[in-house]
Chains A and B, each alone.
Chain A
Amino acid sequence: MKIGIYPGCSLEGSARDYNESVFALAKAFALELVQIPDWNCCGATAAHNLNKELSLSLPARNLALAEKNGLDEIVVPCAACYSRLMTTQYELKNHPELKNKISEVIEMDYKGTTKIINVIEWIDKYIIPKLEEKVKKPFDYKVANYYGCLLVRPNKVLNYDRVEDPQTMDIVMNKIGATSIDFPYKTECCGAGLSISRTDIVSKLSGKIIEDAEHRGADAIIVGCPMCHSNLDMRRTDINKYWNTEFKIPVLFVTQAIGLAIGLTPEQVGLQRHFVEVKLAEKI
């Protein structure tokens, strides 16, 4: 089964560990992931604040390339890229007049037939059915599943999971032996793109998320978004300084947790790249 993958910039940079764990899982479950050839920026947070046409054209080009290369289904591990691609598909489906215009801009046909899935849907569809037999070391930890904003919102566009209290990641984590805790911060804001310009705000907001997870006795925070990960992990020094404390809880991508559970080494799923050391007590 050939599935396309749109990595986006993060998976080639700050979230290489995410990329490595996605491909490690694909290899372990014999899934072929084909990168969309000549893919470009999804527009990220910048484009849709400046120019609507641009913000639709950038993702549309990637979708058109997927169509051209016969990739009927693409997985988009980055939640922000996922949101941009889904939004584009939604907008162009509901505004056919835009579709022709965008086709002209990208100089390619755009049909809008590609099925876009996020990382949890990919796991659900291709990994869960074969997971049970592969689990070697159950991930027997209490986990706080943090969805952030773009994995489930806006519901109108994504039509995925429950907006206020999403469950899909909790279900996946429970399947590999984890205990998902009741985590009220699962969709609270981490500070997102303010990571660069207002690190203090990220420190405050991400700190609240981490504090609550630690307070509830979670052993790890599980994420499915590079932005969330970088704020909760890479910004930890700033967070600890802001809160004047020593938060130690590690932050793992959902794919990394599954990798560990099926017996991949920490290096194979990129854990050595984290800023916060992933020290999980061995469970017997």
Chain B
Amino acid sequence: MARIGVFICHCGENISATVDCTKVCETTAKLKHVAYATEYKYMCSDPGQSLIKEAIKKYNLTGVVVSACSPRMHEPTFRKACAEAGLNPFLCEMANLREHCSWVHEKSESTTQKAIDIVRILVEKVKHNAALQPIRVPVTKTALVIGGGIAGIQAALDIANCGHKVIMVERSPSIGGHMSQLSETFPTLDCSQCILTPRMVEVLQHPNITLYSYAEVEGLDGFIGNFVVKIRKKAKSLDEKVCTGCGLCITKCPVKKIPNEFEQGMGFRHAIYVPFPQAVPNKPVIDREHCTYYIKGKCKVCEIVCPTKAIRFDQPDEVIEAKVGAIVVATGFDIKHADFFPEYGYGKYKDVIDGLQFERLASASGPTSGEILRPSDGQKPKNIVFIACAGSRDPAKGIAYCSKICCMYTAKHAMLYKHKVHEGNAYVFYMDIRSAGKNYEEFVHRAIEEDHVNYIRGRVSTVYERDGKLIVKGVDTLLGAQPVEIVADMVVLATAGIANNGAEQLAQRLHISYDSHKFFAEAHPKLKPVETNTAGIFLAGACQNPKDIPDSVSQASGAAVKVAVLFSQNELTREPLVAVVNRMGPPMYSTCVGCFMCQPVCPYQAIEREEYKTRDGKVIKTVAKINEGLCQGCGTCVALCRSKSIDLYGYTNEQVYTEVVALLNDY
């Protein structure tokens, strides 16, 4: 006979402020088969858990109903407590009195009544719970890192240094990401390339890391510990093993005027190119969209000049499959470009540039070798205006969030400008200065006090050109909303950081969630900032939201530890809450008639075919079988099954009917 224990939590005052917990306790104690009921202020605390454990032993309980918060919050906590007291953890259920009752209703009789009903149906359900055993699955101890920016590099190196294999996939021809484009970094003004390029080389040379550059993740199957990833290695049109990276082909390529992505369109590259001299791997690829041979069928200059005969014009894309146990997504971000801003000229003024373009202008390896020269005529700008929050914090532009990095890099830009153009004037229009970070506030003050950057608090309404100058019209809100007009030579927009191009498609391929701005979503904003909702897939860097380098690196190391934790086990256990097709003896074998209507509706491709054969191999019956490694327990197949042959462990039809009946019946 069932002996159920009911444990009612006050959740501080979260529940007890609107629900009469004592009444719930007294009423449910009288229910049939309830052997024990009690209440406590914090059931999830150590004494609360001890209460449950002792009661299980003392009253020899066969089932437990913890009436507290959402099972998403504390079900694992209480199931673990039950297991410690010797009760199968799947005989513990949670009645959600907080999210489903006390938080959404006013204090009243009927609120308490609803709480009683919730507990009542769970008491009935738990009587039908089965003592399930966790499913064990093996772990492939290879990690996939998607994206070769600083976050991906950090995660890959950390995982590789733990002794695990890493596959890194980067879609551009070189790793390094946005950080490789930066001139100097805040708040120390150390050279970005100097701190990054050694790490890029380390990735290439690490024995545990396999790097696929110019490659993209095309598909993902499987589940935590056992993913199968499909990677498309785009044709580089040369044999990397033969190429020595001498660069002769690049110098001889006749197609020279392709806007250089690495220089943010401010310089040109050839059709065969490496993105930048310090690229890793430092071997060129042919851009087939612009290459004369692929367009007109003639040229092949690169092939002719190549001393090692490495060019392969007919090289196809290669799709490979790899088994990985965990995935770190570190695909980074993009920024809005100047053409997004009608009020600043829709990008039609050459001297209105974005922050990344300014980075290239200030960079020693950039198109001007580090001299700040305006793009239109190569003159040194005497007056330069920086506009912070261009797009960010502006719901009218569809971007309500703060891009976080702009305040700091704008201060850095203004500083770099003043260091290079001593006689020039730098103006920064800002909304608020958000410089929370170690040594950040001091950095901004250095810009204002030591480098005499003029900070003007206010927005810029418009930028237009007149007589070759840019007229910047704004307002100074600290001087009583006084209009300000600055005749500038160059304007730099600190444009909003946005999700990277292709983020949505990648998220869908990986089955991870993303927010309305296409940034990838973490499993919990505070306590699971590195995990995604899909087990085994972790986030690092600005693919989650705009982040600076220290934050990206910290998170990447965090993600690496999560992977290492996963790889520290040889087997994973997962909850056995999966669907199952019934089985019985011959001649039926199963009530399943093998219609396989369930197969196309399964979102996880978990339904397989199983054949029953005679000894001489004749098929007697074909029935559905569910791969418990793949099944996520969504229940779609259960609802669809015509012969009611499928059931979901933990939520069987019987359990659900019992709950409904309990609700309808008097007690």
Judged by a CB distance under 8 angstroms, whether A215 is at the interface is yes
Contact status A184-B462, CB under 8 Å: yes
Tell me which residues across on chain A come within 8 A of B427, comparing CB atoms.
none
Instruction: Mark B447-480 against chain A: 1 for CB-CB distance below 8 A, else 0.
Output: 0000000000000001011100001000000000
Judged by a CB distance under 8 angstroms, whether A212 is at the interface is yes
Q: Which of A162, A182, A215 contacts B342 (CB 8 A)?
A: A162
Judged by a CB distance under 8 angstroms, whether A194 is at the interface is no
Judged by a CB distance under 8 angstroms, whether B294 is at the interface is no
The answer to whether residues A184 and B471 also contact, given A212-B466, A215-B466 and a CB cut-off of 8 A, is yes
CA distance A184 to B348 in the complex (A): 12
Q: How large is the interface on A (under 10, 10 to 19, 20 to 34, 35 or more residues)?
A: under 10
Contact status A163-B342, CB under 8 Å: yes
Judged by a CB distance under 8 angstroms, whether B343 is at the interface is yes
Judged by a CB distance under 8 angstroms, whether B346 is at the interface is yes
Judged by a CB distance under 8 angstroms, whether A32 is at the interface is no
> Inter-chain contact count A-B, CB under 8 Å?
19
- Closest CB of chain A to B493's CB: distance in Å? 14
Tell me which residues across on chain B come within 8 A of A164, comparing CB atoms.
342-343, 462
CA distance A212 to B465 in the complex (A): 11
CA distance A190 to B235 in the complex (A): 59
Judged by a CB distance under 8 angstroms, whether A165 is at the interface is yes
Tell me which residues across on chain B come within 8 A of A182, comparing CB atoms.
348, 464-465
Contact status A184-B466, CB under 8 Å: yes
- Closest CB of chain A to B518's CB: distance in Å? 24
Contact status B342-A165, CB under 8 Å: yes
- Chain A residue nearest to B344 (CB atoms) is A164
Identify the interface centre among B346, B348, B462, B471: most chain A CB within 10 Å of its CB. B462
Identify the interface centre among A163, A184, A215, A216: most chain B CB within 10 Å of its CB. A184
Contact status A184-B464, CB under 8 Å: yes
Tell me which residues across on chain B come within 8 A of A163, comparing CB atoms.
342
CA distance A165 to B465 in the complex (A): 14
Contact status A165-B346, CB under 8 Å: yes
Considering the complex, which residues of chain A in the window 251-274 have a beta carbon less than 8 Å from any beta carbon of chain B? Answer: none
Tell me which residues across on chain A come within 8 A of B471, comparing CB atoms.
184
CA distance A165 to B462 in the complex (A): 11
Tell me which residues across on chain A come within 8 A of B345, comparing CB atoms.
165
CA distance A184 to B345 in the complex (A): 9
- Closest CB of chain A to B604's CB: distance in Å? 43
- Closest CB of chain A to B565's CB: distance in Å? 51
- Closest CB of chain B to A149's CB: distance in Å? 14
- Closest CB of chain A to B557's CB: distance in Å? 44
CA distance A229 to B310 in the complex (A): 70
Tell me which residues across on chain A come within 8 A of B348, comparing CB atoms.
182
- Chain A residue nearest to B467 (CB atoms) is A215
CA distance A3 to B343 in the complex (A): 36
Tell me which residues across on chain A come within 8 A of B346, comparing CB atoms.
165
Considering the complex, which residues of chain B in the window 304-350 have a beta carbon less than 8 Å from any beta carbon of chain A? Answer: 342-343, 345-346, 348
CA distance A163 to B346 in the complex (A): 12
Tell me which residues across on chain A come within 8 A of B343, comparing CB atoms.
164
CA distance A182 to B343 in the complex (A): 13
- Closest CB of chain B to A238's CB: distance in Å? 22
- Closest CB of chain B to A200's CB: distance in Å? 17
Instruction: Mark A213-231 against chain B: 1 for CB-CB distance below 8 A, else 0.
Output: 0011000000000000000
CA distance A182 to B464 in the complex (A): 9
Tell me which residues across on chain B come within 8 A of A162, comparing CB atoms.
342
CA distance A184 to B462 in the complex (A): 9
CA distance A183 to B132 in the complex (A): 74
- Closest CB of chain B to A159's CB: distance in Å? 15
- Chain B residue nearest to A165 (CB atoms) is B342
- Chain B residue nearest to A186 (CB atoms) is B464
CA distance A204 to B471 in the complex (A): 18
Tell me which residues across on chain A come within 8 A of B464, comparing CB atoms.
182, 184
Instruction: Mark B343-362 against chain A: 1 for CB-CB distance below 8 A, else 0.
Output: 10110100000000000000
- Chain A residue nearest to B348 (CB atoms) is A182
CA distance A182 to B468 in the complex (A): 13
Tell me which residues across on chain B come within 8 A of A216, comparing CB atoms.
466
- Closest CB of chain B to A133's CB: distance in Å? 33
Instruction: Mark A51-82 against chain B: 1 for CB-CB distance below 8 A, else 0.
Output: 00000000000000000000000000000000
CA distance A212 to B485 in the complex (A): 15
- Closest CB of chain B to A218's CB: distance in Å? 13
CA distance A215 to B471 in the complex (A): 14
CA distance A212 to B462 in the complex (A): 15
- Closest CB of chain A to B284's CB: distance in Å? 41
CA distance A215 to B343 in the complex (A): 21
- Chain A residue nearest to B342 (CB atoms) is A164
CA distance A215 to B468 in the complex (A): 13
- Chain B residue nearest to A212 (CB atoms) is B466
Considering the complex, which residues of chain B in the window 470-508 have a beta carbon less than 8 Å from any beta carbon of chain A? Answer: 471
CA distance A216 to B462 in the complex (A): 18
Considering the complex, which residues of chain A in the window 123-167 have a beta carbon less than 8 Å from any beta carbon of chain B? Answer: 162-165
Tell me which residues across on chain B come within 8 A of A184, comparing CB atoms.
462, 464-466, 471
Considering the complex, which residues of chain A in the window 163-190 have a beta carbon less than 8 Å from any beta carbon of chain B? Answer: 163-165, 182, 184
Tell me which residues across on chain B come within 8 A of A215, comparing CB atoms.
466
CA distance A165 to B464 in the complex (A): 11
- Closest CB of chain A to B266's CB: distance in Å? 23
- Chain B residue nearest to A188 (CB atoms) is B462
- Chain B residue nearest to A185 (CB atoms) is B464
Tell me which residues across on chain A come within 8 A of B466, comparing CB atoms.
184, 212, 215-216
- Chain B residue nearest to A216 (CB atoms) is B466
- Closest CB of chain A to B468's CB: distance in Å? 12
- Chain A residue nearest to B345 (CB atoms) is A165
CA distance A163 to B343 in the complex (A): 9
CA distance A77 to B464 in the complex (A): 29
Tell me which residues across on chain B come within 8 A of A165, comparing CB atoms.
342, 345-346
- Closest CB of chain A to B58's CB: distance in Å? 63
- Chain A residue nearest to B346 (CB atoms) is A165
Identify the interface centre among B343, B464, B471: most chain A CB within 10 Å of its CB. B464
- Closest CB of chain B to A212's CB: distance in Å? 7
Identify the interface centre among A163, A165, A216: most chain B CB within 10 Å of its CB. A165
CA distance A219 to B274 in the complex (A): 51
CA distance A163 to B462 in the complex (A): 12
CA distance A215 to B467 in the complex (A): 9
Tell me which residues across on chain B come within 8 A of A212, comparing CB atoms.
466
CA distance A153 to B78 in the complex (A): 59
CA distance A183 to B454 in the complex (A): 29
CA distance A184 to B343 in the complex (A): 9
CA distance A163 to B465 in the complex (A): 19
CA distance A216 to B465 in the complex (A): 11
CA distance A149 to B63 in the complex (A): 71
CA distance A162 to B465 in the complex (A): 19
CA distance A164 to B462 in the complex (A): 9
- Closest CB of chain B to A77's CB: distance in Å? 26
- Chain A residue nearest to B341 (CB atoms) is A164
- Closest CB of chain B to A251's CB: distance in Å? 21
CA distance A175 to B345 in the complex (A): 23
CA distance A113 to B462 in the complex (A): 37
- Closest CB of chain B to A211's CB: distance in Å? 11
- Closest CB of chain A to B475's CB: distance in Å? 15
- Chain A residue nearest to B463 (CB atoms) is A184
- Chain B residue nearest to A184 (CB atoms) is B464
Tell me which residues across on chain A come within 8 A of B342, comparing CB atoms.
162-165
Interface residues of A (CB under 8 A from B): 162-165, 182, 184, 212, 215-216
13 contacts between A and B (CB under 8 A): A163-B342, A164-B342, A164-B343, A164-B462, A165-B342, A182-B348, A182-B464, A182-B465, A184-B462, A184-B464, A184-B471, A215-B466, A216-B466
Counting from the closest, the 6 A-B pairs by CB-CB distance are A184-B464, A164-B342, A164-B343, A165-B342, A162-B342, A165-B346
Sample of 9 more A-B contacts, CB < 8 Å, known A164-B342, A182-B465, A184-B464: A162-B342, A164-B462, A165-B346, A182-B464, A184-B462, A184-B465, A184-B471, A212-B466, A216-B466
